[in-house]
């Protein structure tokens, strides 16, 4: 109840403040603020005479001021000036629509719609963007082509079909794109050739996926998409070396297992029967094989047109292959649960092939290469 009483007192006070602030804004030459504050007052209190008076005085001054601003902007040589003009017209149209929504405001002033001016100015905006895009594209500079792409993209967002803007957009995309070729990787071993090819293909595919929307295009070693050699900007050369495959170490561990809780036996001593535990034993032989492999990948980025090396980086990786096997002598009931791992196989497994070890080592090298190229080409 107290809250309702407070609100009853506050509402008139707020309305008075609103009206005073509208008049103050008018006195300070802030015509747009005066118009909006007067409209806000009339929306809450349609019969407010001060608000109607302020609106009648402020609205024509607001429109006149904006029209003067538009004339001044239009005289400038800024190619994107029409977007500023459009913003002015849209602000005046917003006021017009608001006045139409408030009956007392609509009767108080004769508001003017600027829908036609907005339509015409939008056409000028698109035309200016199109001309600017063409000028930038004509320079042959990659950075200018990127800017041209933004202009044609803006046009197509505003209007699905505009002259040949879509064709210009694709032309700008092509001119702005940096073509990066992944050179065939030098193979450390003939046996690893198929693994190297798989590495190359996966590298290009992942780089393509990550940069699908950017102005970087990675070309695979076979150049399946037929990018002309003269359009290649950078060549990424990769070389595997210092590969050590199969530093093998076998270790044997022997464990004696004893348990006395698996069964019992009864022994007759005189007139008494004594229950005693049966002790079971086993000797476990566990073998562990560890194969350590390592390798290095060297990466160089070469400027295709002049052969200059732009960047050089090296990546290292290791992989440890582990396997176990074993056997036991004695009673299986003596075995511990942890013995099961080495007892799954009685004989040593076959050694992994060199291609398998290379693949394991190449995985971290692959990740490091992708991360590096991602970071490096982010600046483009």
Q: Across the strands, what pairs with 180?
A: 218, 234
From first to last of its 380 residues, the chain has per-residue pLDDT tens of 444 433 333 344 334 444 458 888 898 889 999 999 999 999 999 989 999 999 999 999 999 999 999 999 999 999 999 999 999 999 999 999 999 999 999 999 999 999 999 999 999 999 999 999 999 999 999 999 999 999 999 999 999 999 999 999 999 999 999 999 998 887 666 677 888 888 888 998 888 887 766 799 888 877 766 777 778 899 999 998 878 877 888 899 999 999 888 777 777 777 777 777 888 899 999 999 999 999 999 999 999 989 899 999 999 999 999 999 999 999 988 888 888 888 988 888 888 888 888 889 999 999 999 999 999 998 88
Query: Which of 113, 145, 163 corresponds to the end of one domain?
Result: 113
Report angle CA 141, 146, 151 to the nearest 5 degrees: 120
Could you tell me if 317 and 351 lie in one domain?
A: yes
Query: Three-state DSSP class for 106?
Result: helix
Query: Which of 150, 176, 202 corresponds to the end of one domain?
Result: 176
- Cα–Cα distance list, 119 to 77, 99, 125, 163 (Å): 21, 21, 10, 17
Could you tell me if 42 and 142 lie in one domain?
A: no
Could you tell me if 202 and 282 lie in one domain?
A: yes
Q: Is there a domain that residue 89 lies in?
A: yes
Instruction: State the Cα–Cα distance between residues 168 and 118, nearest whole angstrom.
Output: 26
Could you tell me if 154 and 94 lie in one domain?
A: no
125 Cβ contact partners less than 8 Å away, ≥ 6 residues apart: 82, 83, 86, 158
Q: Across the strands, what pairs with 328?
A: 284
Instruction: State the Cα–Cα distance between residues 112 and 202, nearest whole angstrom.
Output: 63
**How many residues would you count in the chain?**
380
Q: Are 108 and 41 in contact (CB under 8 A)?
A: no
Could you tell me if 223 and 275 lie in one domain?
A: yes
Quote the domain boundaries for residue 233.
Answer: 190-378
Q: Is there a domain that residue 118 lies in?
A: no
Instruction: State the Cα–Cα distance between residues 250 and 83, nearest whole angstrom.
Output: 76
Query: Which of 113, 131, 158 corresponds to the end of one domain?
Result: 113
Could you tell me if 157 and 226 lie in one domain?
A: no
104 Cβ contact partners less than 8 Å away, ≥ 6 residues apart: 42, 46, 47, 52
Q: Is there a domain that residue 374 lies in?
A: yes
When divided into structural domains, the chain yields a total of 3
pTM for the whole thing? 0.69
331 Cβ contact partners less than 8 Å away, ≥ 6 residues apart: 280, 281, 282
Q: Phi then psi for 149, rounded to 5 degrees? A: -55, -45
Could you tell me if 73 and 198 lie in one domain?
A: no
């Amino acid at each position: 109840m107290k809250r309702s009483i407070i609100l009853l007192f506050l509402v008139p006070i707020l309305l008075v403040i609103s009206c005073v602030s509208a008049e103050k804004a008018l006195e300070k030459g802030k015509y747009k603020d005066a118009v909006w504050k007067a409209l806000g007052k009339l929306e809450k209190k349609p019969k407010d005479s001060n608000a109607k008076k302020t609106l009648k005085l402020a609205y024509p001054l607001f429109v006149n001021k904006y029209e003067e601003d538009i004339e001044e902007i239009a005289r400038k040589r800024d190619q994107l000036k029409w977007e500023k003009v459009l913003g002015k017209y849209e602000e005046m149209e917003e006021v017009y629509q608001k006045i139409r929504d408030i009956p007392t405001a609509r009767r108080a002033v004769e508001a003017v719609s600027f829908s036609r001016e907005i339509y015409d100015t939008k056409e000028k905006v698109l035309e200016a963007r199109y001309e600017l895009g063409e000028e930038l594209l004509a320079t042959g500079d990659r950075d200018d082509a990127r800017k041209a792409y933004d202009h044609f993209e803006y046009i197509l967002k505003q209007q699905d079909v505009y002259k040949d803007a879509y064709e210009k957009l694709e032309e700008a995309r092509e001119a702005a794109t940096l073509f990066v070729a992944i050179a065939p990787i030098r193979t450390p071993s003939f046996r690893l050739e198929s693994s190297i090819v798989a590495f190359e293909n996966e590298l290009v595919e992942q780089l393509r996926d990550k940069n699908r929307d950017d102005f970087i295009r990675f070309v695979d070693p076979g150049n399946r998409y037929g990018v002309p050699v003269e359009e290649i900007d950078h060549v990424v050369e990769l070389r595997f070396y210092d590969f050590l495959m199969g530093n093998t170490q076998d270790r044997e561990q022997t464990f004696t297992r004893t348990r006395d809780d698996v069964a019992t036996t009864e022994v007759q001593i005189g007139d008494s029967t004594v229950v005693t535990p049966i002790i079971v034993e086993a000797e476990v032989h566990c073998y562990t094989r560890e194969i350590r492999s390592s390798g290095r990948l060297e990466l160089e980025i070469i400027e295709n047109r002049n052969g200059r090396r732009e960047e050089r980086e090296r990546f290292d990786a290791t992989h440890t292959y582990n396997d176990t096997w074993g056997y036991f002598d004695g009673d299986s009931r003596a075995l511990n649960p942890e013995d099961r791992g080495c007892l799954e196989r009685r004989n040593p497994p076959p050694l992994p092939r060199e291609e398998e070890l290379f693949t394991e080592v190449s995985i971290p090298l692959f990740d490091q290469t992708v991360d590096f190229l991602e970071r490096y080409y982010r600046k483009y």
